[in-house]
Structure 1
């Protein structure tokens, strides 16, 4: 799985409409930003969780189904996304983020989620693309981003 995830991460890095956060809101651990996560996965070394998270610092692969969904959202549906988190940051104790199964996006097509971004359309597409846990504005703790996770 890590090999295909690395190849998909390298492919994602070529997508001009997908960008990655370089900071967290809950931690200052620079090893675990979305930017570092995707670059480290592209190198095949896995994405780093944050030292102050529920699981501490460790490396996990990013799920290929999730990475393929991001590519599809961009290539097939034309969405430009800013990914705020993969495995870094601080989430619920049993969060799928810590296992490399989730992404959070806080901007869609340059518009902040919760301020007019077409988040409902992207959330529905995430479900169509296999996500089994999809949250966004209106869900607790998700008013400023969407969360799409696979099992």
Structure 2
């Protein structure tokens, strides 16, 4: 996250992967207000125009249109970020871990997002395997993931992460 935001602030630009998979994905998983994220994108990117940015940010990255543009939320875990980018190289967090001290924060946030939005998303035809994985987890693991996500967001709020 820090590298993607730093690059954005330094250059008023970032690659599609940084915008979608890093900052947009984080905003989605963390439950940030879509309108505020859209405003931030418009303010920080030199190439941001509403006619392009709003569909990409609101519809694709944030699923803020409820699925009009994208057929499913573009939510991703640390493992996906690791496969699709080099952002995990040299990171202190392990993209394959979810509950350990060095677990990638995106992992617990990912599962928490799916749990928070289960009523809306479980029936999505593109998400049955995701929810099958959730269903295979023990209740203790699901609760631990939700607690880890809450702790991650609180630590961020407190400036400790």
Q: Same fold (TM over 0.5)?
A: no
Higher relative contact order (CA 8 A, sep 6+): 1
Higher helix share goes to which structure?
A: 2
